[in-house]
Amino acid sequence: MNEFGIKAENASLKSLGLGNVASALWNLEPSQLVEETIIRGEGELASSGALAVDTGEFTGRSPKDRFIVYDDITKDAVWWENFNIKFDADKFDALYNRVTAYLSGKDVYVRDAYACADPKYRMNIRAITETPWANMFIYNMFLRPTNEEVLNFTPEWTIIAAPGFMADPEIDGTRQHNFAVMNFTKKIILIGGTGYTGEMKKGIFSALNFILPHQKNVLSMHCSANIGEAGDTSVFFGLSGTGKTTLSSDPNRRLIGDDEHGWTDEGVFNFEGGCYAKCINLSAENEPDIFNAIKFGALLENINFYEGTTEVDFEDKSKTENTRVSYPIHHINNIAVPSVGTTPNNIFFLTADAFGVLPPISKLTPGQAMYQFISGYTAKVAGTEAGVTEPQTTFSSCFGAPFLPLHPTKYAEMLGEKMRKHNVNVWLINTGWSGGAYGTGERIKLRYTRAMITAALTGKLNEVTYENHPVFGLAMPTSCENVPTEILNPRNTWQDKAAYDQKANELANSFVKNFEKFADYANDEIMAASPKVSVNA
């Protein structure tokens, strides 16, 4: 085996069963990884300087092919349901040996990195990737040790990503040829059959979602976070399309991170060292921070160029709607260094309610916050290709169900405990529709949403009166600076009040039905926050 690059003197791949690879290229600089990718014919430079690659068959995660090894650590702690699928320990060992045999005689790229910006919770990671651009993704997305730290680096977790290895379900115990398997005893994430880089990122996130709450009493969160000039921290939870990235980008506040954080007794910290942003319909006008971050060192995935050029056509979704870019967080100017913040003063749950039922802003009690957190609601507007115009409810526990090894109530109760201990304000923000459902009403204006968030951050909403929503029980402010009063109570924006009442009850029924699977685990305070469905509506 030939070895190149910088590494600790005692660092070796032999203990991982990879002693027979052709070459191990350790901790190459991004410029070297770009060069390797281009030489191998696996990517090209866009006009902005970013490296553009295709991830192959898979352009997104495959939740049904994500497994957790069933062993003494996980058997009684993991919530074994749709997203947490058992994998036999012996099958893992056999699959691991087949992957390492596949990599024999091939060049591999090794990257030492770490997760968690708080030194108390630092997790050292060694990633071995089959492609140079996947190694560049690790460089972009995780925290980067100094050269001195690399020379003394000891990994705690290992990622092995071999997209060219295709599993045989009959032999390997997988569902199909692709897989991502977490082994908490051996601290290995084994990925094969897929080149989608997000599997590596979310593998580590899933591991931290087990380790931090279960073993270290730290709440792990799928959220963005920023910090104001006065040192006040805010956290934004929300599913795709709710405005999480947009609303956490604020010229008056520094970005702590855009996706994954932990909350300790001292404050919050970013798990990552980069951003993984959607590119579809990206423009300099709508998302200047992301647009300007796409330069040399950024990694574009599954985009297309305008014909005859190397200029990215961000509206082209012929490969996938999930076009992506990863870049180190320092590609953005207005960031917190290091990526840590104080205990949050305000938490925002973002939902894009396409039914036009929920208020544009409401203040939650601890019980309501836990209920809404477990529910993780938003609504998606159906695609026009199916000829369907009715919105569809989407529930994702804790705004990140596919990444939660523990039962959602564990995370929710930790959130409620921290809310009470630190007197944190929790707000539900509807960035969706007002005056009617999608197709009838209008999308709530972004400037109104920003004004409501600003009023919450500056304490202006502490000085106003509130009224409770009759079905959801949410406390709605009766006035808010720079926001028309008439939109604050959603029922007032509907011409047909009876139609609103009916739609509110329909949505409440959806909440109640979705929550049935959690009811046996939820405490009385959480259950009391359930919407009150009217039998007469």
Residue 4 belongs to what H/E stretch? Answer: strand 2-5
103: CB partners within 8 A, 6+ apart: 18, 21, 128, 130, 160, 162, 165
SS3 450: helix
The Cα–Cα gap between 284 and 306 comes to: 17
Answer yes or no: is pLDDT of 536 > 90.
no
Average pLDDT over residues 9-32: 97
pLDDT digits (tens, 9 = 90+) for 453-492: 999 999 999 999 999 999 999 999 999 999 999 999 999 9
Residue 386 has a pLDDT of 38
Answer yes or no: is pLDDT of 383 > 60.
no
The Cα–Cα gap between 424 and 411 comes to: 16
Residue 533 has a pLDDT of 87
Residue 389 has a pLDDT of 57
The CA distances from residue 286 to 91, 213, 249, 282, 325, in Å, are 48, 36, 11, 7, 16
pLDDT digits (tens, 9 = 90+) for 183-211: 999 999 999 999 999 999 999 999 999 99
188: CB partners within 8 A, 6+ apart: 96, 157, 158, 159, 160, 182
E strands, 411-515, in order: 425-430, 433-434, 442-443, 466-468, 475-477
E strands, 21-171, in order: 23-26, 43-45, 51-53, 66-69, 85-87, 107-115, 123-129, 157-162
SS3 153: coil
The Cα–Cα gap between 460 and 464 comes to: 7
CB 180 within 8 A of CB 163: no
Answer yes or no: is pLDDT of 381 > 80.
no
Give alpha helix (H) positions in 346-391.
366-375
Residue 385 has a pLDDT of 30
The CA distances from residue 427 to 236, 319, 356, 453, in Å, are 10, 37, 17, 9
pLDDT digits (tens, 9 = 90+) for 418-455: 999 999 999 999 999 999 999 899 999 999 999 999 99
Answer yes or no: is pLDDT of 382 > 90.
no
**Tokens matching residue 324:** 């992506």
Over the chain, what is the mean pLDDT? 95
Residue 169 has a pLDDT of 98
Domains defined along the chain, listed by start: 2-40+60-216 (3.40.449.10), 219-263+343-529 (3.90.228.20), 275-331 (2.170.8.10)
pLDDT digits (tens, 9 = 90+) for 204-248: 999 999 999 999 999 999 999 999 999 999 999 998 888 888 888
**Tokens 């281009």 belong to which residue?**
38
Answer yes or no: is pLDDT of 314 > 90.
yes
Q: Tell me which residue of 411, 405, 407, 410 sits closest to 189, measured CA to CA.
A: 405
Average pLDDT over residues 132-145: 98
Instruction: Tell me whether strands 361-364 and 425-430 are parallel, antiparallel or unpaired.
Output: antiparallel
Catalytic positions:
61, 202, 222, 240, 244-245, 259, 324
The CA distances from residue 43 to 52, 239, 339, in Å, are 5, 30, 31
Which residues, listed in sequence order, are joined to residue 182 by a DSSP beta bridge? Answer: 68, 189
Give percent above pLDDT 70 in the chain: 98
Q: Tell me which residue of 444, 484, 470, 476 sits closest to 531, measured CA to CA.
A: 470
Query: Which amino acid is present at 29?
Result: E
Residue 384 has a pLDDT of 30
Q: Tell me which residue of 243, 202, 210, 244 sits closest to 225, measured CA to CA.
A: 244
Residue 387 has a pLDDT of 42
For 63, what's the count of Cα atoms within 13 Å in the CB-facing half-sphere?
A: 12
* Banded pLDDT at 537 (limits 50, 70, 90): very low
pTM of the model: 0.94
**Residue 169: cis peptide before it, omega within 30 degrees of 0:** no
* Banded pLDDT at 388 (limits 50, 70, 90): very low
The Cα–Cα gap between 156 and 126 comes to: 8
The Cα–Cα gap between 364 and 357 comes to: 16
The Cα–Cα gap between 371 and 334 comes to: 33
Q: Tell me which residue of 280, 276, 262 sits closest to 331, measured CA to CA.
A: 276
